[in-house]
Amino acid sequence: MKLIAGVDIGNSTTEVCIAQMDSEGRMRFLSSSSRATTGTKGTIANTAGIINGLEVAMERIGKNVKELSLICINEAAPVIGDTAMETITETIITESSMIGHNPSTPAGAGQATGTILYMQHLEDGKTGIPYIVVASSKYSYESIAETINSYAKKLSIVGMILQADEAVLVENRLEQKIPIVDEVKYVEKIPEGIQAAIEVALVGQSIRMLSNPYGIATLLKLDANETKKVTPIAKSLIGKQSAVVIKTPFEHVKENKLPAGEIYFLGDSKTSVNVDAGADKIMEVLSQTGKINDISGQSGTNVGNMLRNIKKGMGELTKEEASEIKITDILAVDTLAPVQIFGALAGETCMEKAVGVAAMVKTKQLPMEKIAEELKKRLHIYVKVAGVEAVMASLGALTTPGTKLPLAILDLGGGSTDAAIINENGSVVTTHKAGAGELVSMLIQTELSLSTRHIAEEIKKYPLAKVESLYHMRLENGAIHFFEEPIEPKYFGNVVLLHPDKMIILEDDIPMEKIVAVRREVKKKVFVRNAMRALIEVAPEHNLRNIENVVLVGGSAQDFEVPEMLMEEFANYKIVCGRGNIRAIEGPRNAVATGLVMSYIGERHD
C-alpha cells in the first residue's frame, strides 16, 4: 500500500489531496486540505505552506507525513501568474491654488466668503471685513462659542474652520448661526489674510457652488486660468455635504504630469498601444499580436515603471537578471482610481479614469524543481514535479458527476484564469491568462477607495445588507429579512457583509447600492472577459459553439455570483456550464491536486 499526495501550489492557496494505491494499482482517495500559500508562488517560501497542508491532510486520516511514499507537485514554471497588479492612470500632481476639504460632521448651512483669521487674533480684526475664523483643537467648544459670540457684535464673522470634530457643539451655542466645517487636520497650514469660501449643504443634499469650478470662480473671483487649476478640487467635492476652498497665492501653483504611457507587445508582430486608449483597445491590440514573447512599457511613464518593476521583482525572487524575465500576457481593465490632490488640507482625492493591469511572467528558471529539492531535504520523501496545472485540473474535473469527454474546464484562481479542453483521445489543449480573483480585489479596493485589501476581499466574497432596525434588514436584492430576536444595537443603520458565521460591519461610509454595482461590474470585467478569451483560444477552430460542456474549478469558482455570470454568458452559445464537484465531495476546489494523483497512477498503469 502506498500513500500518495498531490499538491497544488496556487497564488492564494495550497491544496493537498491524499490517495492510497494498492499493489494492483487501484486507487482510493482518503483526505484533502487547503492552506494559504506562503510566499510568492513558485518560490522556496512555498514549502512552509506545503508542509502545513500535508500535515493537516494526513492528520485527518490519523497518519504522519513521513508515511507518504510520494509527493506530486504541479508544474507552475515557467509561467507564474499575477506577480503584480497596479492601476495605471495619468497622474496629475497639483499644488493647487485652492485647498478643499469635506468633513463628516459639519454644522449650519449656506455659503460664505471671507478672509482667514485665526481665533487668537480676533482682537486684530477690522470692522466691515467678512472673516472666516480658524480655531485649533487646543480650544474647547465652549470657549470657541463664547469667544465668537463676543466678537460677532463688532466683527463680521461669516464662517468657521475647526480642527476638532466639534462643529455641531459650537454651532448649537452660537447666537448668530454660520456654516462651520470641522475635522481640518492641518489648520496651522492655512495662511492668514487670504480669501476662503465655505459651504455647508442642508441634510440630505450636497454642495453646489464649491463642487463646480465656476461656482468657486464666482465666490473667489478667479480668472479663467485659475479656474482651470481648481477643477480637480471641484471634482473631488462632488456629492459632499460640506467644503471649504482656500485661495493661495497663484505663483505657488505647480503641476507635474506623469503620463500613462504606451505598452509594447513583442510577438509574431510588433505592436503598441497607448494606455489612454482604454482597456478594450489594449486587449484588441494584444489579440492581434499573436503569440506573445514579451511585453514592455514606455520609459518614464506609469505603465513603463510598472512593467519594469514586475520584471525586477521577479528577478530578485528567482535570482535572474531583469532582462531574462519575460511578460507573456496581461489583462487590462478600465477602472476609476483616486488621485491625491497635493496641497490639500486633509488628503483630498478625486477619481480619475484609469486602467488596471494584471501581468503573467515567464522565467528561465524552473522554480518548482527547487521547491521539490527543498521538500525532499526537509521531509526525506521523493517529490515529483508532475504536470501543467490546466492539464491536471482537467483530469480532476472529470471526477465531477455528470461529465464526459470532450470536456472544457475553466480554472478560476487567484492570479490567473486557465482554460483547457480534453478530447476523447485524451489530448489536452491549454492556455493561461493573467488576471483572476486578486485583480478583482484590487479593483474593488481602488474604485471604492477602501483602506485595506482585506476589506475588498470580504466584499468580493459575501453579499450585503443594510440593517434598518433592530428587527429587520434589507438585503442587496431588495428582499427584507426579519430577526426573531433583536440584534445588537451596533449593527443598526450599518451596511453589513453576510458572512456565514456572523455579520461584518463595513466601517467605510459607502452606500450599499454603490458597493454592489462596483463589485458586480468588476467581476464581469475580469472573470467574464478572461473566461471568454481563454476558451476561444482553446476551442476547436477557436469557435465557442464547438464547446458543449464547461466545468468551473478553482477557488474563484466558489464565488457566490461569478458562476451564474458565466452561465448566463455561455447560454448564448448553448454551452452547459456549472461549478465542478471534484470527487463528488470537494466542490470546485482540489481539481489540480486530485489530477496530480490521477496522473501518477495513470503513468503506473501505462
pLDDT value of residue 95: 46
Same domain, 126 and 200: yes
Per-residue pLDDT for 96 more than 60? no
Same domain, 184 and 307: no
CATH number of the domain enclosing 42: 3.30.420.40
Same domain, 392 and 291: no
339 located within any domain: yes
Same domain, 189 and 291: no
pLDDT value of residue 349: 63
Domain boundary residue among 345, 362, 379? 362
422 located within any domain: no
Mean pLDDT for the stretch of residues 71-86: 55
pLDDT tens digits, one per residue of 367-401: 678 889 999 999 999 999 887 778 899 999 999 99
Same domain, 207 and 295: no
Report d(CA 403, CA 157) in Å as an integer.
77
134 located within any domain: yes
pLDDT value of residue 80: 41
- 523 or 91: whose pLDDT is higher? 523
- 536 or 322: whose pLDDT is higher? 536
Domain count, the chain: 3
Report d(CA 411, CA 533) in Å as an integer.
13
Report d(CA 219, CA 237) in Å as an integer.
16
Q: Which helix (H) or strand (E) holds 378?
A: helix 367-379
Same domain, 161 and 236: yes
pLDDT tens digits, one per residue of 164-212: 889 999 999 999 999 998 888 778 878 889 899 999 988 878 899 999 9
Domain boundary residue among 186, 219, 251? 251
Domain boundary residue among 188, 220, 251? 251
Residue 513 in 3-state DSSP?
helix
492 located within any domain: no
Same domain, 230 and 267: no
Strands (E), 139-253: 156-162, 180-181, 195-200, 242-247
Q: Of the segments 239-243, 320-324, 553-557, which one has the largest average pLDDT value?
A: 553-557
C-alpha cell at 516: 454592489
Query: What range does the domain containing 280 cover?
Result: 83-92+257-362
Same domain, 155 and 298: no
3-state helix, strand, coil in the chain (%, to 5): 35, 30, 35
Mean pLDDT for the stretch of residues 116-137: 93
Report d(CA 578, CA 199) in Å as an integer.
53
Same domain, 102 and 67: no
494 located within any domain: no
Report d(CA 8, CA 50) in Å as an integer.
9
pLDDT value of residue 317: 73
Residue 218 DSSP label: H
C-alpha cell at 336: 476609476
Strands (E), 341-444: 349-362, 382-388, 407-412, 416-422, 428-434
b/e burial code for range 293-311 (CB count within 10 A of at least 16 → b)? eebbbbeebbbbbbbeebb
409 located within any domain: no
Strands (E), 145-280: 156-162, 180-181, 195-200, 242-247, 254-258, 262-266, 270-274
Report d(CA 606, CA 604) in Å as an integer.
5
Of 334, 271, 265, 264, residue with least CA distance to 299: 264
475 located within any domain: no
229 located within any domain: yes
CATH number of the domain enclosing 228: 3.50.30.70
Same domain, 125 and 242: yes
Residue 528 DSSP label: I
Mean pLDDT for the stretch of residues 42-58: 92
Same domain, 54 and 144: no
CB 430 within 8 A of CB 573: no
**Beta-carbon-side half-sphere exposure of residue 146 (alpha carbons within 13 Å):** 5
Same domain, 126 and 247: yes
CATH number of the domain enclosing 349: 3.90.470.30
